[in-house]
Amino acid sequence: MEEAHHIGEVVGGVTALLLIAAGVLAFTKKVKVPFTVLLVIVGMILRAISEAYPHLLPGIAEFEISPGLILFVFLPTLIFESAFNLDARHLGHNLGPVLTLAVPGLLASTFVIGGIVWFLTSLLDVTIPFSSALLLGAILSATDPVSVVSLFKKLGVPERLTILVEGESLFNDATSIVLAAILTDIVVKSGALTAGTVLDGVTTFFIVFLGGLVVGGLMAYVAGIVLGKVEEDPSIEITLTTVLAYLSFFVAEAIFHVSGVMAVIAAGLLLGGWGRMKISVKVRNYLEHFWEYIAFVANALIFLLVGLRVDLHELWSAIAIVGIVILAMLISRTGVVYGLTPIVGRLPGVEPVETRYQHIMFWGGLRGAIALAIVLSLPEEFALRELFITLVIGAVLFTLLVPGLTIEFLVRKLGLDVAPLPDRVARLEGEGVAKQHALDRLPELLKGGLFSMSVGKELQEYCTEDLEETHHQMEKIRAQELDHETEGQLAILRAFAEEKSVYIHLFNEGQISERTFRDMIAELTFQVDAIRHTEQIENVHSHRFSRRRVENFFLNLFDRLPGLSRVAERARLAHIASDYERAWAHCQGSASVLEMIDNLAQMESLPDDIRDTLHARYERWHETAVRQLDQTAGQYPEFVASLQGRQGRRIVLLAQVETIEEQEEYGTLPRPVAETLIEDINHQLSHLRRSVEVSQLRVEPTELLRKVPFFQGVPPDEFTDIANKMRSRTFTEGGTIIQQDTKGDSMFLIARGVVRVSREDDGVSRDLATLMAGEFFGEMALLHGEPRTATVRSITPSSLYELNRDDLDEVIEKYPDMQAALHQASEERKAQMAG
């Protein structure tokens, strides 16, 4: 009975709070007060009401925040959500300032707050020992900018500012928790700071901090792998992320005694960045909503409970110390933001943080849930516990009500609420294209005869005016803010964005593999960065080739190691398959950009010369891609046919899914039936996604031998015998097969592809020949025992067969005709070389 009663109370309390939160949320849409701030105010009002009229709101005021609940439930939720949605790449670019503020900055802030509080309170005759003052400093140094960040999102402030503020808060939460734990230990146990305790503290700090990262990282990695195996099942996939969030915290804290927050940060960042692609397409959306909602619940409960906890009498009785604490906080924040950020900005590779951002970082450094959670979880035997709780509540309340309510004004005042130029231009162009499209469709609509002439005319006028207005705004931006160069760069960025959307689509549809997709996106990101730093775009493709070079180096090494050459061979075949996929994506991406350029041209929103250069560039890329596709299709017809077959099957299946979903929506197909059907199709789709048909790239040796002129006399059933002696080798475009002047023990037959023979004399290189399927090379070194006379490279993907000296000798013995043929060719080639 007792238990049921208790549960009933909890359910009643939580639902009441959620209901209030929903009401507050509806209300914030009307008034200009951040949600969290309003929650606290409402909480305070509720408490006041329940104190004045105890019968009115029974139980609400007694609803306590348990620190365990905050630490183990709310905290992982909020931190995971924030880390998961933080752009890991952006964070990476800003890691310098973020970590400086979050670690040394937090330590400095701890000392400044602690020092000031200790000194000033001693003047008031209140004794807060220095070590306890430091603990208070650590608790109050963690920033909690939920309301600020949601304001940023609403106002559309620059991405970098959001990353700086959110990133700092994410990491300083961890630092603060770890530091506070260490200090609590010192304060409660020995009460004094000595060299020994400080040194211990520093060591523990690093172990706990980094240990958390490792634990979270590993768990996210495992979760990512498992997620990759689950297909399109929201319940399982969301559950896995939830388990990851709470379990990484728990495992880190309870099993390894390292920082749970760091573990959750690592898990969230890793899963949000690398792992996001492992989550099925349809689930990704659900998942974001799910976490958004969970974070809403956590925030709503925390801030309402904070409000309910504010005891104004107590606050008032400690007002002098609260004042000191607030002053100390402001001074330390000033020192940290304005002192540290300019210093980090001078480090190599760090982009300086502009002053306007620093103002926002200073004023937007609110305090919130973390500080409360830590202070509430201080052990009961700590004598200053109650005082500290009051002080922290006072400080949190101050930051929520003063900076919290004025930050929007500051953001606007500093002009940070204007969306960045590229976004505004893109938006106008998007609108323009849509409106133009509507206008073009109008005659067709009017033709139906359903509209009266006058309405039709009005509509036409309205649309034309609307379009002109967009043109006009575009012209205005162009005249006021855009110079020619910027406009060119913006156009390229738009083109990249279009390309990216195509790749995302191709990946989501399973037309390209995760690996290719990642590569393409990485390449694009690289290009975008290059544009931002105004480098040449033509040069940026090279990084892939340099990676390929490294890979080829290792593959060539593998070739020499027994047992590994098969691995190398498989990897090369896979290269050809992935090059094909890449060309396929490039082809579609550039086609789509070309179409976009045409649309923009129709709108006259691009200056002619910019449009022409961009068009020409994409045309060139498109042609290259098409050529690559054609080439591979020529070299490996079976492979391409099977690939296209697979593609076709996939399109058919996707079309089926679409129709089934439509029928379900209109109610012509019962839901369970539709679900079973779709599940079945998804299964087939996932099967199509998995099989990489590199086997199609392999050429049967017997088939090859038939093409080689000097095997013409060999009876077909003996082909197998010779074929068994040959080793299949594959080379990607540009791969070196034979290097001039090296030792050579084998010759090659070309099954597929084209190779080029070239020779370097006195530093001058000249091409000697181009060889194709059915021809051979590398015989000279074998026949004459000399070093290789020339370098041979594959100029298309190619499949070769390699024949070793001993095996060749055997074959020659059996088929003397071959020897003559080889010698003859060798002599001719030699003559040509000399000539």
- Return residues touching ligand CMP (CB under 6 A): 738, 744, 757, 768-769, 777-781, 788-790, 792, 829, 832-833
Quick one: CA dihedral 626, 629, 633, 639, positive or negative? Answer: negative
Q: How far is the CB of 718 from ligand CMP (least distance, A)?
A: 24
Contact 704, 724 (CB under 8 A): no
CB closer to ligand CMP out of 35 and 777: 777
Closer CB to ligand CMP, 530 or 833, in the complex: 833
Q: How far, in Å, CA of 673 to CA of 661, rounded? A: 11
Q: DSSP E strands: which ranges in 271-392?
A: none
| Strands 764-771, 798-804: pairing kind | unpaired
Provide the β-strand partners of residue 746.
804
Question: Is the CB of residue 69 less than 8 Å from the CB of residue 336?
Answer: no
* 3-state SS assignment for residue 785: coil
Looking up tokens 């083109």 gives 495
Cβ–Cβ contacts within 10 Å for residue 699, how many? 20
Q: Based on CB atoms, which residue is closest to ligand CMP, 328 or 754?
A: 754
Instruction: Please name the residues in contact with 229: beta carbons below 8 A apart, sequence gap of 6 or more.
Output: none
The nearest distance, CB 347 to ligand CMP, in angstroms, is: 52
Residue 726 or 757 with smaller CB distance to ligand CMP: 757
Looking at the DSSP assignment, which residues form a beta bridge with residue 791?
A: 758
Rounded least distance, CB 740 to ligand CMP, Å: 7
CB of 783 to ligand CMP, least distance (A): 8
Of 170 and 757, which CB lies nearer to ligand CMP in the complex structure?
757
CA-to-CA distance for 540 and 555, rounded, in angstroms?
A: 25
Q: Minimal distance in Å, beta carbon 825 to ligand CMP?
A: 8
Q: Give me the least distance between CB of 832 and ligand CMP, in Å please.
A: 4
Least distance (Å) from ligand CMP to the CB of residue 698?
A: 24
Euclidean distance between CA atoms 375 and 390, whole angstroms? 9
Q: Which is nearer to ligand CMP, 249 or 777 (CB)?
A: 777
The amino acid occupying position 347 is L
CA distance 354 to 64: 43
Q: Which residue is nearest to ligand CMP (CB)?
A: 781
- Least separation in angstroms between CB 789 and ligand CMP: 3
746-752: strand order across its sheet = 727-731, 798-804, 746-752, 776-777
Min separation Cβ 747 and ligand CMP, Å: 7
Task: Tell how far CA 105 is from the center of its chain.
Answer: 27
Number of residues in the chain: 835
| Residue 343, C-beta contacts closer than 8 angstroms, at least 6 positions apart | 100
Other CB atoms within a 10 A radius of the CB of residue 669 amount to 17
The amino acid present at 664, given as its one-letter code, is E
Q: Among residues 692 and 833, whose Cβ is nearest to ligand CMP? A: 833
Question: 97 vs 778, which CB is nearer to ligand CMP?
Answer: 778
Question: Please, what is the minimum distance in Å from the beta carbon of residue 759 to ligand CMP?
Answer: 7
d(C-alpha 719, C-alpha 705), whole Å: 7
- What is the token pair recorded at 454? 């006058």
CB of 809 to ligand CMP, least distance (A): 16
Pick 257 or 759: Cβ nearer ligand CMP: 759
Nearest 5°: phi and psi at 799? -115, 130
- Find out whether 79 and 252 touch, Cβ atoms under 8 Å: no
Question: Rounded to the nearest whole angstrom, what is the least distance from the CB of residue 556 to ligand CMP in the complex?
Answer: 16
Long-range contacts of 77-80 (CB under 8 A, 24+ apart): 77/245, 77/294, 77/295, 77/298, 78/146, 78/295, 78/298, 78/299, 78/369, 79/170, 79/173, 79/261, 79/264, 79/265, 79/268, 80/241, 80/244, 80/245, 80/264, 80/267, 80/268, 80/291
Instruction: Report the residue number, 412 or 743, with the smaller CB distance to ligand CMP.
Output: 743
Alpha-carbon Rg for the chain, nearest whole angstrom, is 35
772 backbone dihedrals φ, ψ, rounded to 5°: -125, 180
* Beta carbon nearer to ligand CMP, 170 or 771: 771
Q: Largest alpha-carbon pair distance within the chain?
A: 113
Comparing CB distances to ligand CMP, the nearer of 157 and 754 is 754
Q: Which is nearer to ligand CMP, 390 or 746 (CB)?
A: 746
- Report residue 650 as tokens: 């996939």
* Least distance in angstroms from the C-beta of 833 to ligand CMP: 5
Side-chain-side CA neighbours of residue 118 (13 Å): 15
